[in-house]
A and B are shown apart, each in its own frame.
Chain A
Amino acid sequence: GQQVMQIPQYQHVQEGEDFTTYCNSSTTLSNIQWYKQRPGGHPVFLIQLVKSGEVKKQKRLTFQFGEAKKNSSLHITATQTTDVGTYFCAGPIVSNSGYALNFGKGTSLLVTP
């Protein structure tokens, strides 16, 4: 079945440094979604990418969908302590019976002041 893999598993940065997490799918994706989960919290939807090569920005966050629609990345510029959490990518599982998201294992970001 479809697998979504994320690297790195963990990243520890100093505040102000940049951060990037990568997501790779074993199959072509119709779209990809990104979520953030704060420690002790629940996943919160950040963005959806649909088009090949699409790039979207949210303030210091830049999301990219690969040309082949099999990979994606999230880049944070000048990290802040509020960026701490685990970032998940998720690709759709489409079957005859429905559509649901398959999540990667996430990248946990720790930001030291």
Chain B
Amino acid sequence: EAEVAQSPRYKITEKSQAVAFWCDPISGHATLYWYRQILGQGPELLVQFQDESVVDDSQLPKDRFSAERLKGVDSTLKIQPAELGDSAMYLCASSFTGYGGLGYTFGSGTRLTVV
């Protein structure tokens, strides 16, 4: 069964350092999403891509977060500088259509701890 690949699985970083997360969606899925999930909460959308274009980044804290999907395939989410409040699970998801009618497929996520 096709999977969304994410790495690293876990990341511990010090406050004010830079971190980056990588995601490779299911082949053929044009739409890619980055979500942040704080423990005990539901996933919250950070950014949505359609192919290589950003469709929605209204919830992305752009002073410290950036995301790119240069060739419309894999994607990178960066935080610089990291803050204690950024500790969370960062989930990447992809869908076949922009309307997610067949559901999202999530990756295993990157668990970020900022110390």
Contact = CB atoms under 8 A, between A and B. Distances in A.
B43 A103 contact: yes
B20 to A, nearest CB: 19
Contacts of A33: 100, 103-104
Interface string B36-52: 00001111110010100
Contact of A103 (B44, B103, B105): B44
Given A42-B91, A43-B91, A88-B42, A101 B104 contact: yes
Contact of A45 (B55, B56, B104, B108): B104
- The B contact surface, by secondary structure, is loop
B56 A42 contact: no
A5 B26 CA distance: 30
B109 A100 contact: no
Contact of B43 (A43, A45, A46): A43
B107 interface: yes
Interface stretch (A51-59, A61-69, A74-82, A90-98): A90-98
B111 to A, nearest CB: 9
Given A48-B101, A98-B56, A105 B42 contact: yes
A85 interface: no
Interface residues of B, number: 26
B103 A45 contact: yes
Contacts of A44: 106
A88 B91 CA distance: 15
A50 to B, nearest CB: 9
Interface residues of A, number: 26
A97 B107 contact: no
A98 B103 contact: no
Contacts of A42: 91, 106-109
Contacts of B105: 45
From A35, A45, A95, name the one whose CB has the most chain B CB atoms within 10 angstroms. Answer: A45
A20 interface: no
Pairs A-B, 5 closest by C-beta atoms: A45-B103, A103-B42, A98-B55, A42-B106, A98-B56
B90 to A, nearest CB: 11
Contact of B42 (A41, A98, A104): A104
Contacts of B101: 31, 48
